[in-house]
């Protein structure tokens, strides 16, 4: 892999459910330290596309390359083994468990005798939480008592601890207040600085322009436009989302 090699290279991806083409010949790349915002109305195909990368759905046809190497992703565990982690909008946290238990849920550390190594897990958890948010210290209370921003810290920390180089984030700021949105935005910027590539599913234009380097817009299963966020006006992007075309029928620069 060279510096120019994308972390993820999706080529001609197709997915149909019955007679409905959910994803129709979509090609898209993600590079290290880059945030690509995925936009489109509900049913546009963006979540289905990401679920194929996450291993939740098999692709029908097309090719996925990870770090320049063709990859067959048949399950979430195979996706994770490639350094791809998904943070769904629901966060998939166990509300009755604390942050340490959630960090290692299903992948617990064990002692040489095969018992869970609670001390080692707490030390490791405190270290990864400290890197992401030094102010997050109440890691032994049930996560149901945490704020939305703190819950995002737990979900992101879980991905990073297991060496994720690609993150799929599904509307991470949905239902968060201004302070917590700012907290999550800071986390995203920190991940970028560490070279993590992020696919950001969002409907929020402010997130697109504040956090993403590039955008990709889907409509009816097809990729209808992509380009550099800094080179695009919000009105152009809204037109792409709503009509599938740029004003004047132009196409977004790649």
d(CA 8, CA 66): 5
- Predicted TM-score (pTM) of this structure: 0.88
Which pLDDT score, from 0 to 100, does residue 1 have? 55
Q: What is the pLDDT of residues 54-102, one digit of tens each?
A: 999 999 999 999 999 999 999 999 999 999 999 887 777 899 999 999 9
- Sequence-distant (6+) residues with CB within 8 A of 240 are 39, 217, 219, 224, 225, 246, 252
Alpha helices in the chain (DSSP H): 46-54, 76-81, 99-103, 118-132, 148-161, 178-193, 205-211, 234-243
What local confidence, expressed as pLDDT, does residue 249 receive?
58
Q: What is the pLDDT of residue 150?
A: 86
Whole-Å CA distances, 159 to 53, 60, 198: 15, 27, 12
Q: Which residues of the chain have pLDDT under 70?
A: 1-3, 175, 249-254
Other C-beta atoms closer than 10 Å to the C-beta of 225 total: 24
Whole-number Cα distances in Å, 206 to 1, 16, 182: 33, 32, 12
**Residue 151, pLDDT score:** 86
From residue 172, alpha-carbon distances to 13, 37, 245 in Å are 25, 12, 27
| CA angle in degrees (0–180, nearest 5) for 59-27-81 | 55
Looking at the domain that runs over 8-93+163-249, which CATH code has it been given?
3.40.50.300
| pLDDT given for residue 92 in this prediction | 78
Predicted pLDDT of residue 4 = 80
Domain ranges of the chain: 8-93+163-249
């Amino acid at each position: 892999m060279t510096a120019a090699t994308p972390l993820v290279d999706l080529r001609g991806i197709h997915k149909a459910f019955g007679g409905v083409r959910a994803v129709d010949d979509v090609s898209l790349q993600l590079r290290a330290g880059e945030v690509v915002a995925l936009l489109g109305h509900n049913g546009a195909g963006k979540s289905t596309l990401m679920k194929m990368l996450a291993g939740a759905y098999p692709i029908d046809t097309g090719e996925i390359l990870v770090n320049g190497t063709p990859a067959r992703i048949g399950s979430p565990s195979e996706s994770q083994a490639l350094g791809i982690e998904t943070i769904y909008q629901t966060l998939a946290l166990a509300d009755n468990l604390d942050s340490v238990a959630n960090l290692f849920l299903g992948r617990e550390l064990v002692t040489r005798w095969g018992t869970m190594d609670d001390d080692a897990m707490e030390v490791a958890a405190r270290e990864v939480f400290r890197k992401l948010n030094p102010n997050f210290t109440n890691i032994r209370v049930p996560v149901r008592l945490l704020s939305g921003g703190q819950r995002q810290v737990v979900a992101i920390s879980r991905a990073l601890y297991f060496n994720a180089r690609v993150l799929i984030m599904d509307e991470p700021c949905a239902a968060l207040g201004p302070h917590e949105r700012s907290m999550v935005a800071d986390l995203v910027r920190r991940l970028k600085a560490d070279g993590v590539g992020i696919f950001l599913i969002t409907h929020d234009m402010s997130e697109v322009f504040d956090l993403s380097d590039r955008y990709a817009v889907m409509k009816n299963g097809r990729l209808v436009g992509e380009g550099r966020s800094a080179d695009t006006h919000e009105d152009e992007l809204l037109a792409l989302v709503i009509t599938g075309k740029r004003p004047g029928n132009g196409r977004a620069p790649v």
